[in-house]
Amino acid sequence: MAQRNSMRSFSNRDASDKKILFDINGGIRNTLILTRNEYYNCADIETKLEELPPVRCNPEQINQVVLNLIVNSASAIASQKRSGNGKITIHTWFDSKNIYCSIADDGPGISQEIRTHIFEPFFSTKNPGQGKGRGLGLSICYDIITHKHEGTLTVDCLPEGGTVFIITLPQPSNPVIIEGSLQIDS
């Protein structure tokens, strides 16, 4: 039942330019249910989803970005052929100007040379002959976040390995907390 509800929520197709107030944390929870088969055998998920105000966005597009980043993290961890599971950590938070979501993994990381090309269309580290890695996923994610939502998508790697993607989305104007719940003052 949870997967059916997540699928229904995830596939709620909005017009590509239509933006509504959306609960990013709810979108992440639904996406984790849908992607479970991608990470279940290779990674454990840790979430730190702080209370967030709703963000004005296209939910379908934001869910697609989160899905792509989770699947990429799982794929990177699986490529290491570990004896045990790796870890994917998802953290959300906000400040007065932005809402943030980081998706981090303890996979092999991405070299600096590759990181400079990671958001380019058709750039892939995977072998396309094996039916994977067309090189469009991260460029589409980048376009969705930076051009369609006026945010940022960055990538960094830790010296000890692993990759961290950070999504930054502009906060709706004038969020106000009223009696314990956050409202948007229009």
Question: Bigger pLDDT: 126 or 142?
Answer: 142
Q: What sign for the dihedral angle of Cα 171, 119, 84, 32?
A: positive
d(CA 91, CA 51): 11
Q: Where are the alpha helices (DSSP H) in the chain?
A: 2-10, 24-39, 59-78, 112-115, 137-142
Per-residue pLDDT of 49-104, as tens digits, reads 999 999 999 999 999 999 999 999 999 999 999 999 999 999 999 999 999 999 99
Per-residue pLDDT of 145-175, as tens digits, reads 999 999 999 999 988 889 999 999 998 765 5
What's the confidence (pLDDT) of residue 133? Answer: 58
Name the pLDDT band for 16 (thresholds 50, 70, 90).
low
Domain holding 145, by residue range, is: 2-184
Those residues whose C-beta lies under 8 Å from the C-beta of residue 68, and which sit 6 or more positions away, are: 137, 138, 140, 141
Question: Bigger pLDDT: 113 or 26?
Answer: 26
| 116 has a pLDDT exceeding 70 | yes
Q: What percent of the chain has pLDDT over 70?
A: 77
Residues in the chain: 186
Q: What percent of the chain has pLDDT over 90?
A: 63
**179-183 average pLDDT score:** 47
Residue 148 DSSP code: I
Question: Bigger pLDDT: 124 or 2?
Answer: 124
**121-136 average pLDDT score:** 62
Q: CA triplet 172, 176, 181: central angle to 5 degrees?
A: 105
What is the number of domains present in the chain?
1
Question: Bigger pLDDT: 137 or 156?
Answer: 156
Q: What sign for the dihedral angle of Cα 143, 106, 49, 133?
A: positive
Q: Look up the CATH number of the domain holding residue 80.
A: 3.30.565.10
Mean pLDDT score of the chain: 84
Six token digits for residue 50: 């702080």
